[in-house]
Chain A
Amino acid sequence: MQAGLSTKNAPSPSVVLPHYAAGAIFFIIASVLLFFASENLANTFIGPKILGLTHILVLGWITVIIFGALYQLIPVVMEVKLFSEPLAHISFYTLVTGTVLLSYTFWNNYINQTIYLQTGGTLIFISVILFVINVLFSALKTKQKTLENLFIVTSAGWLLLTVLLGIFITLNPVLHFVPKSNLELLKIHVNFGLIGWFMMLVIGVSSTLLPMFFIAHKLNRTFIHLAYYFTNGGLIFLMLTLYFDTNILFKITAGLILVAGIIFFIKYNFDAYKKRLRKKLDIGMKLSVFAFVLLFLTLIFGIFSVLNIEILTEYNSSIYAAYGISLILGFFSALILGQMYKTLPFIVWLKLYQDKVGKFKIPMPAHIYSAKVADWHYYSFITAIIIILTGVFLKESILIKISAVAFFITASLYTFNTFKILFHKDKSELLN
């Protein structure tokens, strides 16, 4: 085994592949739920249906796929084997079951204490604990003390805090731990999850993967270091300002530190994009580039939601909703849609053809899915995003319904390709 090689450390495909399958199904479910939550979303940014839909998206769609992708990626960036595959299996099943139960409860009963809520919450907590153990113990084995690893470990820590606070929120009204309303605590919970867990991980992982896929070299790594410190610092500061309900100036400062961190991250990847060797982008990278457009949009909505500008009061609820949509359904989803094409075909290709290279005629990873179908869902996704944001600002539920149809088409086409890759059969032929 030579340093820098990762295939021999790769986990069994059975650890990783179910995550991609389940994530795709959850994306379809989310698009259906969006259709039925359209009335709510046109008028507010919070409520039972929106909470149910959000948890299907952040846990079922995004977190499930991220867990799977990380199990594949940890051996690559840490150059060690994953600490425990059985833990990863248990974590998958508890996460999927917990997400269904929790989202079902939120959709129907909001946060009343029910057996579904308690069971769902417990299962997700178990899943996260097992995931964090896997990440931390893998990190302890590695000799690669890189910034990417620090990002992964830090994001796992924020994920743990997010889930703990989520449980705290459901218990606080009954047990009165702190004199805070659920909405106040919910804001901290949301920021822990979106910025601490997702964004931290995305920054760390993207800083490795995107330049590798762009084939870009000589990038200034200082920007990624700055992104790490500003994003973490800004998040801690924001949490304090939200908890102690400080004046607006502190909140704006926290917001600006966070924005600066994300701008450093964008700058680093923009440099990679400019210096890329591959001028023609494949579908995976086209979607990833579009994700950054949506991230920029998220920053704008984020700034407006913190500033709370008086003349825009009428649109405050729309701005909050647009912020969440452009981040969750926009940036994170586009990145997942795109990066699936940069990871899953390789995993399946390695599984089937690793031992056949040079001896048989074999297809390339890019040939085991339909490029046409991928192109179609690229356009349907862009259409869906434009329509949903328009619908939210115009407060028109019919537009949100139309966007849900476009998301359904996107999710279905994406799922078609995911399963086409997952069920790809060996097509090797003897060399002449």
Chain B
Amino acid sequence: MLENLSVTEKQILERLKTIPDPEVEVNIVDLGLIYEIRHNEKEKNINIVMTLSARGCPVGDTIMQHVETVTKAFLPEYDVNVELTWEPQWTPEMITPDGKALLNM
């Protein structure tokens, strides 16, 4: 999960906060959809593991494409790989306190 992030990984995470889930209009980081960010300086690649709030989400691959575009715009010299996982399954407990505030939870 999002622990022990490097400075670059933290910067990527901040940029991913600009991506909203079009249905709820809350950003995907605060929704808890980003599970992992791995930045490899040597091999010049970035691996992002994420999930969606529901299987079959109609805008799922648009969100993933958005993640790739935003990351690539920040670090154009890197290869960006966005991987979708259903393990562990997303639950509302993964929403950050900021996300909960945005959702009036």
Contacts and interface: CB of A to CB of B under 8 A. Distances in A.
A278 B24 contact: yes
Contacts of A12: none
> What is the size category of the interface that chain A forms with chain B?
35 or more
20 contacts: A2-B61, A2-B83, A4-B52, A6-B58, A7-B59, A7-B62, A217-B92, A278-B104, A279-B103, A346-B22, A346-B59, A349-B59, A350-B58, A350-B59, A357-B62, A357-B63, A358-B70, A359-B69, A364-B22, A364-B25
B55 interface: yes
Contact of A213 (B23, B55, B60, B92): B23
Contacts of A72: 58
Overall SS of chain A's interface: loop
Given A5-B84, A7-B62, A278 B56 contact: no
Contacts of B57: 4-6, 212
Nearest to A342: B23
Contacts of B56: 4, 6, 76-77, 79, 208, 212
Interface in A2-49: 2-8, 10
Contacts of B54: 211-212, 215
Given A2-B84, A3-B86, 10 more contacts: A5-B64, A6-B56, A76-B56, A76-B58, A208-B56, A211-B54, A212-B56, A349-B59, A353-B62, A355-B65
Interface-central residue, B24, B25, B55, B91, by most chain A CB under 10 Å? B55
B103 A278 contact: yes
Nearest to A345: B22
A277 B62 contact: no
A6 B83 CA distance: 15
B5 interface: no
Of A4, A217, A280, chain B has the most CB atoms within 10 Å of the CB of A4
A354 interface: yes
Contact of B92 (A77, A212, A277, A279): A277
Interface string B31-71: 00000000000000000000011111111111111101110
A121 to B, nearest CB: 35
Nearest to A78: B56
Nearest to A79: B56
A364 B92 contact: no
Contacts of B92: 215, 217, 277
A365 interface: yes
A378 to B, nearest CB: 20
A366 interface: yes
Q: Which of B22, B56, B86, B95 neighbours the largest number of chain A CB atoms within 10 Å of its CB?
A: B56
A365 B63 CA distance: 13
